[in-house]
Amino acid sequence: MRIAISGKSGCGNTTVSTLVSQALDYPLINFTFRNLANEKHMDFWDFCKLAEQSDEYDKELDTRQVEMAMAQKDCVLGSRLAIWMLEQADLKVYLTASAQERASRVYKREGGSFEERLAQTMMRDKNDSARYQRIYGIDNSDTAFADLVIDTSDKDPIQVAKIIIAEVKKRLA
């Protein structure tokens, strides 16, 4: 079973995808802009600005993720656009949380000031959404494409992972 998990930054995509892959013993595919920035020896935020100027980075990232997922019989693909890009996913999960909650999580993880993280989160949402719409015609706020939508605001990652795992087991039964 191929499982695609998407959501905006700070929703818990990486943590939840990791927990689900570990619990099901499925390979985790979580190749992100952070990975590309590291490969290119660039600061993450500088890389994001570069990606705003050229669609090649989004296309490279998305193509590589789908190729990695399609090379697996079973996997968990965690990315911003996984539910749209991996058309062959057997389960498409979208994680949500308010901008304030997501910024709070990023602040706890990366430091800085909350106000700075909230401004970055909101700007990243705006920029990401505009890019996805321009490149692919995808509205990454439209959750209708998902099989399962989970608001992570009041749940810890283990609770979210358990919801997804229960759905997987139901579908495999």
Q: What is the pLDDT of residue 102?
A: 95
Judge whether 15 is annotated as a binding position. Answer: yes
- Contact between 5 and 77 (Cβ < 8 Å): yes
- Contact between 149 and 92 (Cβ < 8 Å): no
Strand partners, 92: 4
- Contact between 91 and 147 (Cβ < 8 Å): yes
Write out the chain's pLDDT in tens, 173 residues.
999 999 998 999 999 999 999 999 999 998 888 899 999 999 998 998 888 788 999 899 999 999 999 999 999 999 999 999 999 999 999 999 999 999 999 999 889 999 999 999 999 899 889 989 999 999 999 999 899 999 999 999 999 999 999 999 999 99
Judge whether 11 is annotated as a binding position. Answer: yes
**CA–CA separation, 117 vs 154, rounded Å?**
20
Phi, psi for 31 (deg, rounded to 5): -90, 120
**CA–CA separation, 96 vs 134, rounded Å?**
22
- Specify the amino acid at residue 11: C
Judge whether 14 is annotated as a binding position. Answer: yes
Judge whether 9 is annotated as a binding position. Answer: yes
Residue 147 structural domain: 2-172
Q: Domain total for the chain?
A: 1
Judge whether 13 is annotated as a binding position. Answer: yes
- Taking the model in full, what pTM does it have? 0.90
Q: What is the pLDDT of residue 114?
A: 95
Judge whether 79 is annotated as a binding position. Answer: no
CATH of the domain at 75: 3.40.50.300
Judge whether 12 is annotated as a binding position. Answer: yes
